[in-house]
Structure 1
């Protein structure tokens, strides 16, 4: 489980974010705090994997906390949650290494997307039994993060959440062969829909398609992750 700390001064927003977090598989709330002193105290007791950090706190600024974390070289990832839409703030946040930036108010779907993307990368690095990664594998991780693009920028007729659902299932199968029918049955998605996403992933060079010819009937298409 990925351990998460929420830093938020508004009790209602803290409760909403906590409930959102419980709805996303693979995450657990370590501590929810309303000020930076408590955040620093609980980090010293047990370091979480991820912090959902508000910027505007009473007489405090979440960016100062982010800079403190980086200055202390503490290995914690941060998603910034704020009503600040300024380009200057967004640029500053990414320069200090946030993994995502959520602008209030946001939907549960956008919140979930941010966590799922983080989980995919986190688990990939956590499970790795080597100290280095090749460019091809790194490009896959970067490509997965780019699934967060707007619908208008995504492939016409495809949905980023459906894409992520199908890709997560493919990841679970490692490099084993599978069919569109198997994925459709497992995920409860129409076979024709699954095939469209698999065709798109094939164009991205994320999967290969194999054609098996049987004695009777049409040839069967099988896929596996590259």
Structure 2
């Protein structure tokens, strides 16, 4: 179970974020805080794996909290969750070690995407050992995966998610037929969603030429769409 500290100056917003986290399998909120001091105390008083951290706090900033945590030797992971969207703040968050930056307002789906990506990253890191280039690319791209685009009428978000999971787990580009088999659907259905993901930049299309000279379309998840 991944233990989460929710930090937001607005008590009502903190409650909403807590409810979102509770709906994602494998996560639980162990505490809430509404100030910089409260955030630091929350990490000191209990074991916390991940902080969902607001930038604008009544007694300081989220970035100052991250800096102080690092100074004190805490390596707790941080995802900034804030309405601050100026480039300087985003860059500073990256420099100070925030894993991701989620801009308010957002939906539950936006939060879930970030948390599930974080969980995948933790599993990869916990396995340890050495990583091939494809695995390194997945690690660096895991938290930058954007939420799925709005789907055209007649498309299912659940089906698109199944195909996304197949692509993200693949160690090399796959054909539409290979993806269809792994996803448990027809090739025609897989092809339709793959074209949609490719057009939106979420999937990357490559061509592989066989003995017949006719190119085979192969797809891979785009780490940074």
TM-score between the two structures when normalised by the length of structure 2: 0.70
State the match for 1:211 in structure 2: none
Q: Report deviation, 1:182.
A: 5.6
Q: Alpha-carbon deviation of 1:73?
A: 3.0
Provide the residue aligned with 2:102 in structure 1.
102
Cα shift at 1:37 = 2.5
Q: Could you tell me whether the CA contact under 8 Å between 2:67 and 2:96 is conserved in 1?
A: yes
| Partner of residue 88, structure 1 | 88
CA displacement 1:59-117 (0-9 Å, x = unmatched):
32221101111222311111111111211111111111111112221122211111121
Counterpart position of 2:165: 168
Deviation at 1:146, TM superposition (A): 4.2
Q: Confirm or deny that 1:61 pairs with 2:61.
A: yes
Q: Are 1:47 and 1:76, in contact at CA under 8 Å, matched by a contact in 2? A: no
Deviation at 1:32, TM superposition (A): 1.1
The corresponding residue for 2:135 is 137
TM-score (norm 1): 0.70
In 2, Cα distance between equivalents of 1:204 and 1:48: 42
Mean CA deviation greater in 109-118 or 138-147: 138-147
Please, which of 190, 197, 218 is the counterpart of residue 194 of structure 1?
Answer: 190
Q: How many pairs does the alignment contain?
A: 196
Deviation for aligned residue 1:15: 0.9
Distance 1:197 1:142, change over 3 A: farther
Is the CA contact 2:22–2:28 (under 8 Å) kept in the aligned structure 1?
yes
Aligned CA RMSD, in angstroms, stands at 3.6
Q: Does the CA contact (< 8 Å) of 2:2 and 2:27 recur in 1?
A: yes
Post-superposition CA distance 1:38-74 (Å, at most 9, x none):
3222312323111000111113222110111122231
- TM alignment of 1:1-226, pairs within 5 A: 1-128=1-128, 130=129, 132-148=130-146, 151=149, 164-168=161-165, 180-181=180-181, 183-184=183-184, 192-196=188-192, 203=205
Structure 2 unaligned residues grouped into runs of 5+: 173-177, 208-225
For 1:139 and 1:173, how far apart are their aligned partners in 2? 12
**Contact 2:113 2:147 (8 Å CA) reproduced:** no
Indicate the SS of the match to 2:145.
helix
Between stretches 136-145 and 41-50, larger displacement belongs to 136-145
